[in-house]
Structure 1
Amino acid sequence: MEKLVLKAEPRKTGRHANRELREGSRVPAVVYGRNITAQAISTDRKTLGIALHQSGGGLIELELPGQPPLHVLAREIQRHPTKHHVQHIDFYAVAMNQLVRLQVAVVSDGVAPVLEDAEMVLVRQSDTVEVECFPGDIPEHLVADLSLLKTVDDEITVKDLHAPQGVKILTPAEHVLFSVSASRAALEEEAVEGAEAPDADAVEVIRRGKAEEEEA
């Protein structure tokens, strides 16, 4: 995965200081790690958004004045409830020779033969899987092959993924990623047809009941 560079600066702490940062289009953040002292920092909001999008959850190189660059992963991200931009972020500094665990996106590829039936729809059950690897081996994503979905009973599970060398998938092998279901329109049509069709046993009972009333 491509390594991205993000510049940051030390910041003051406190609610008032954080408000001033946000008003100035900067995002308060914290960087911490196993072998470093936690630091309160800030970074440009726009640049941060680009870095998060392009890194896809992978490595970012964080540059702080007067310090060696840090290799970091984005951890806790707080977003504005309506504007959705980042309001605060935690960065976890990693050593390139130490294993890390993180969530990696799963993307689909190919065409599912079962979807040739217009009444069938693809259902995504999970967006990510947990992996373990060295920071330099973090994949941008893992690929699920939709051609495995040949019937409505087929599923794509974690065991169907092919991880690159050096990457271990930790999510259980039987965990479902993609499945197939009848479309809502097909289900509604089936429900309507079921409601319209009279039950033979019920009709027979009603008819017998009327006949018995007439004889009485």
Structure 2
Amino acid sequence: MELAVQKREKFGKATKKLREQGLIPAELYGKGVQNLHLSIPLKEFRKVLKQAGESTMINVVVSSPAGEEKRPAIIYDVITDPVSDEIIGADLYQVRLDEKVKIKIPLEFTGESQAVKNKNGILVKVMQELEVEALPADIPRSLVVDISKLEDIGNSVYVKDLKIGNGVKVSVGPESVVATVTAKMTEEQEAKLAAEVKPEEIKVETEEKKTERDAAKAAAEASSPASPAGRAGKPAAPAEAAKPAAGKPAPEKK
């Protein structure tokens, strides 16, 4: 699967113009790889994202005045507008075909549990994704969880029940529970549980006590030595780290 992109030379206000033209800004980076600033047709990006997701390897076709080059990568992060939820940017992570990558794969729940449908059970999805380690070409888009096998209360689906391809290693044991069906609580059980819960005691500070505390604090500060010049109340924030973007660590390579 290929994603056609172009090198981007303009930044700042030019980014807004990109979006007006139906394009989104993107970054391509990776271990030992120089960052590339790109622009991608939004329509094409949506199509590839729908088919590949954020785990399947794709070929990023980079167009520039020097020609075209293909780079293997995964869609590492999709940036959306917090209000409209529209896609406004993306991060692509370049991988090496001969190096294994640790990445989290989404779980796709299919089927219908008879324990839920006919026995008033509650389906509990213990996992929503599963971390795996594999070569980029072997990474699955998703892992299917068939819940139709959950016929009775207490039945579970385990990691060992999933169809995981060759060359793919999971980070948890085969007996780890993926999903299970539990019994719904009766009205008597719910009432008993509610009776056992005690409301948290909240201490209300009177204005008089607050005034006394503030006065004592002010007196203590006045009698303490001044802070050394140049020393802040807390250490300076660390320098901004290079890509990948904050909040999502880069796939771990082996």
Is TM (by shorter chain) over 0.5? yes
Match of 2:69, SS? Answer: coil
Judge conservation of contact 1:79–1:86 (CA < 8 Å) in 2. yes
Within the candidate set 9, 24, 32, 2:6 is matched to 9
AA matched with 1:179: T
Structure (1/2) with the larger helix percentage: 1
* C-alpha deviation, 1:179, in angstroms: 2.2
Listed one character per residue, the Cα deviations across residues 37-58 of structure 1 (whole Å, up to 9, x for unaligned) are: 1111110011101101111221
Match of 1:22 in 2: 19
Q: Contact 1:31–1:38 (CA<8 Å) still a contact in 2?
A: yes
Q: Gapped runs of 5+ residues in structure 1?
A: 196-216
Question: 1:62 and 1:192 mapped to 2: Cα distance?
Answer: 59
Change (3 A) 1:172 1:19: farther
Q: Residues 141-175 of structure 1: CA distance to partner in whole angstroms, max 9, x if unpaired?
A: 22223244243223323343231110011245565
Residue aligning to 1:33: 30
CA contact 1:13–1:40 (8 Å) conserved in 2: no
Rate the CA distance shift 1:182–1:80 in 2: closer, same or farther, 3 A: farther
Q: Are the equivalent residues in 1 in contact too, given 2:119–2:152 (CA < 8 A)? A: no
Identical-residue share of aligned pairs (%): 26
Structure 1 counterpart of 2:187 = 191
Distance 1:171 1:87 in 2: 35
TM-score (norm 1): 0.75
- In angstroms, what is the RMSD of aligned CA positions? 2.4
| TM-score (norm: length of structure 2) | 0.65
- Bigger shift: 39-48 or 172-181? 172-181
Q: Please say if 1:53 is aligned against 2:54.
A: no
8 Å contact kept, 1:72–1:94: yes
Stretches of structure 2 lacking an aligned partner (at least 5 in a row): 192-254
